[in-house]
Amino acid sequence: MPSKPLNIKLTWTDDPQKELSLMFAAVTINMGAGQIAVSSMRSINGLGLLHSMLAVQKHAKQVAQSAHATEEELSDLKFHELTHKVLSDSARGATGAAGIIYAHAIVDAALHKLCEISASIDSASWAPFIKDRKVSFQESKANPSQLEERLICGYLQQLERESLITKGDILFKIVRPMSTRGVIKGFRYSREKLVELDQLRHDLVHKMAFCRNIRQPAAKAEYLFKVGNFFHNLVARHYGVHHVGT
């Protein structure tokens, strides 16, 4: 059962259940906005590639209609075609990589927010994570509940810098679901797949791996967003919150 709340959230309403629903809804809205941003970026990139392709086709048509195309004109067309191919491949790679990186960042923030929500209403479940924390002699004189709150807040700040995988693992430890079936219809959570995507994100950012061809980048970004929705629903269900948007 949820214990006394931590005082780490804004108060939007005098109705605790409604406030809790609003907090979960805010997570849903942020992830939805992230999905729209990634989709928009992909669409804009597609329009740019289409414009470039049409320009090449127009150039080729002009050369074909010329009765006596010179070697220079043919060379210019070949260079235009080559430039289009190189830039198109680069644009696709960069857009795919950016979508994965952005989706990862949005979902990472969402899982951290879910950790904060959980701690704000169920501090007892978070106590094991701070049981070995050292405190100063002065801090030990504080009211036990205030000390607990301060330590959990400190732990959450540290957790924000941890990996997406760590945040997911901790939420599983908090919720301890008997089953994950039905959390999202048609979706099966795989920690192994999430580890692979987390490593891919790391390589894209730190090893400039966006220069290589990424297989199905849109599907990878979509999986990350589904992971975010999965944890959202999992935590919301644990605390009896329904109809919050996913």
Kindly report, residue by residue over 203-226, the tens digit of the pLDDT: 998 887 666 678 899 999 999 999
Tell me if residue 177 falls in helix, strand or coil: coil
In angstroms, rounded to a whole number, what is the distance separating the alpha carbons of residues 240 and 117? 13
In angstroms, rounded to a whole number, what is the distance separating the alpha carbons of residues 231 and 194? 13
DSSP 8-state code for residue 6: P
What is the predicted pLDDT for the residue at 35? Answer: 94
Instruction: Give tens-digit pLDDT for 41-57.
Output: 999 999 999 999 999 99
- The structure tokens 């405190």 sit at 135
- Overall average pLDDT of the 95-107 stretch: 95
- The structure tokens 């701690």 sit at 119
Q: How far apart are the first and last CA of the chain?
A: 24
Q: What is the mean pLDDT of the chain?
A: 86
Please say if the pLDDT value at position 132 is more than 90.
no
What angle in degrees, to the nearest 10, is found between the helix axes of 71-121 and 164-175? 30
In angstroms, rounded to a whole number, what is the distance separating the alpha carbons of residues 72 and 60? 13
pTM: 0.83
In angstroms, rounded to a whole number, what is the distance separating the alpha carbons of residues 74 and 47? 27
DSSP 8-state code for residue 173: H
